[in-house]
Amino acid sequence: MPPAQPERAIDREERQGLRAIRNFLKVRTSYDVLPLSFRLIIFDTSLSVKESLNILIQNGIVSAPLWDSNSSTFAGLLTTSDYINVIQYYFQNPAALDQIDQFRLDSLREVEKALGVAPPETISIDPQRPLYEACRRMLESRARRIPLVTHDSQTDRAHVLSVVTQYRILKFVAVNVSDTQKLRKPLGELLLGSYDDVATASMDTPVIDVIHILVERSISSVPILNSEGVVYNVFESVDVITLIKGGVYDDLSLTVGEALKKRSPDFPGIYTCSLNDGLDTIFDTIRKSRVHRLVVVDENFRLKGVLTLSDILQYILLEGENDEVS
């Protein structure tokens, strides 16, 4: 039996960095992540889908908690996935388009049943619980954000305080945990991200085809390539919001290239990294910029894979956790 190899310095530092991040998440609460001042928009489930879409666009947001005023209960989270499901539904049932203006948020579960799509879990967490617990709940439910909900001890009524996203949590870590600089092992060694059978499209692909890919793969973005595999752009699920803001759900035969021209001039562009990059540099990027995913490319900007915030969160929470002494 060959002798055990001594631990490399880079492996030891990676382990120390991950432990420091987990310890930080276990002593901080979801309250700590919230800004000093913020505004929360909550939708009643009796609101029409069209009205909710207009409010999202006017306020520059892509999700909102739902409230059922009939039962005075928290009813989940409205996200871009819900609008994509509505598009799929009307694409399959064009005769139902006449009733689109009357379609209400409390009917979204019926759309999911018609499409055979599993309804999202109505997860939430008390803001006083450790941030680590909020992260675990998001991973277990594959959610990208989690509502913070408190309960009145006398009436047991729920109160929605805010919503925390994966990005906000990872930026909180990037700003406050200097040990992220120890995470220097390259992505190519960690095998962190998706590299096999990555869904892609071209600038000429019809948008409705990309929407089908988003739904079938349960993903939030599709890299856009040229004929040589060079990354041109990324079509994101939030791009769908811009396309249907006029209430048009059935005219999505336009190409990806045409759709991307409708983006806000403030769109920051896409973020890339290489297989040689470690999470230290990626946390630097998250600290400075609003990142939701990174496209992994080679030196010629050809696609290698996609690294999502979910991938990063899962790694920092679970990698080597069982080897740690409580």
DSSP for 134-180 reads HHHHHHHHT-SEEEEEEE-TTT--EEEEEEEEHHHHHHHHHHH-GGG
The Cα–Cα gap between 160 and 158 comes to: 7
* pLDDT > 70? residue 236: yes
Band the pLDDT of 263: cuts 50, 70, 90: confident
- Beta strand 231-236 with 272-273: parallel, antiparallel or unpaired? unpaired
> How much is the pLDDT for 231?
97
Domain boundaries, the chain: 30-174, 180-323
> How much is the pLDDT for 278?
97
Q: Which one-letter amino acid corresponds to residue 215? A: V
90-111 per-position pLDDT tens digit = 888 877 767 777 788 988 888 8
What share of the chain in percent tops pLDDT 90? 62
> Which two structure tokens, joined as six digits, stand for 44?
């009643």
The CATH number assigned to the domain with range 30-174 reads 3.10.580.10
* pLDDT > 80? residue 320: no
* pLDDT > 70? residue 325: no
- In contact, 199 and 219? CB cutoff 8 Å: yes
Band the pLDDT of 4: cuts 50, 70, 90: low
- In contact, 279 and 315? CB cutoff 8 Å: yes
* pLDDT > 50? residue 222: yes
* Topology annotation, domain 180-323: CBS-domain (3.10.580)
Mean residue pLDDT across the chain: 89
The per-residue b/e assignment along 251-261, b for 16 or more CB within 10 angstroms, e otherwise, is ebeebbeebbe
pTM of the model: 0.91
Q: Give the least confident one: 37-46, 134-143, 257-266, 299-308.
A: 257-266
CB contact set of 174 (below 8 Å; sequence gap of 6+) = 180, 283, 284, 286, 287
What share of the chain in percent tops pLDDT 70? 94
CB contact set of 236 (below 8 Å; sequence gap of 6+) = 220, 221, 292
Say whether 275 sits in a helix, a strand or coil.
Answer: coil
